[in-house]
Amino acid sequence: MTFELPRARIEPPLCAPHAAACHGFLHSLESGAAVDGPGMRFVFFLSGCQFRCLYCHNPDTWKLHNGREVSVEDLLAEVAPLASFLKFAGGVTFSGGEPMMQAEFVNATAREIKARLGLHVALDTQGHLHARVADDWFDPIDLVMLDVKHIDPERHQALTAQALQPTLDCAARMVRLGKKMRIRYVLVPGWTDGADEVARMADYVASLGPSVELVEVLPFHQLGRAKWAGVGTAYQLSDTPTPSPDEAEAARAVFRARGLIAC
């Protein structure tokens, strides 16, 4: 398969990670999510991301200060009324954007949620910034949902505008720390759906061993297309179709052939 690097990627400037623990920037939240971790989840979508994925469906989360400023207590107040339900039904997920852009704030909030409410805590991340935090940062995190965008370094760079290796290093670190992971892989026609690409990804995920409890193959969609004009960036996948159910299932079968659970 041949490909060309994207042309004329006019992007907003990347924002620096936010270092304060006492406050952060929240893009939005969802109190009844069923696709952001096990069970029913209360999801905090944090602002800020250093990736510029061509298929991003929330480009409005890229800029850190697009979100509203919130404190740890603000987020605790949001989730506390549902804590008794979430304790048996699911838990809390930190997503984005990229939540590790606000690592200190996310960690402070996760620790309070764990200490006061005793809830399951999941982190949805591409892992690119993991090296900025110490091992004990992950103590309150029960599950890491790691987004691996592509297994080929050059294709990954073209697809996301960032390097692949930090994500792979994050996965290896989670194995070392004994953290459970779910690997998330977006199936994008012409980008990540090649037979060799899927097979290489499946081989890599299988090499991570029992730390991986599930692989989520997520079909590309066009639901965020209209948001791209709002961030002043050309949307390059307007002609890319959504994979059919049969195509998505064929990709899942490749992972299952390696002994992995895939959905």
Q: What letter would DSSP give residue 114? A: I
Q: What is the average per-residue pLDDT within 43-52?
A: 96
| Local structure of 199: helix, strand or coil | helix
Mean pLDDT of 199-224: 96
**pLDDT tens-digit profile of 63-94?**
988 889 999 999 999 999 999 999 999 999 99
CA distances from 163 to 2, 78, 83, 153 (A): 20, 35, 38, 7
pLDDT at 198: 98
Look at residue 9 in the predicted model and tell me its pLDDT.
Answer: 42
- Class of the CATH-defined domain 25-256: alpha beta
**Segment (H or E) for 91:** strand 90-95
Among 63, 64, 54, 55, residue whose Cα is nearest residue 24: 64
- For 48-59, b where at least 16 C-beta lie within 10 A, e where not — what string? bbbbbbbbbbbb
Q: Which of 28-32, 43-47, 165-169, 229-233 has the lowest mean pLDDT?
A: 229-233
Buried b vs exposed e over 76-99: b needs ≥16 C-beta within 10 Å?
Answer: eebbeebbeebeeebbbbbbbbbb
User: Has residue 16 got a pLDDT over 60?
Assistant: yes
pLDDT at 7 over 70: no
Who contacts 253 (Cβ-Cβ below 8 Å, separation ≥6)?
262
**pLDDT value of position 6:** 42
Note whether 17 and 102 are within 8 A (CB).
yes
Mean pLDDT of 113-125: 98
Region 147-151: mean pLDDT is 97
Please report, rounded to a whole number, the percentage of residues in the chain having pLDDT higher than 70. 95
Local structure of 31: helix, strand or coil: strand
Tokens 């989520």 found at: 216
Read off the pLDDT band of 96 (50, 70, 90).
very high
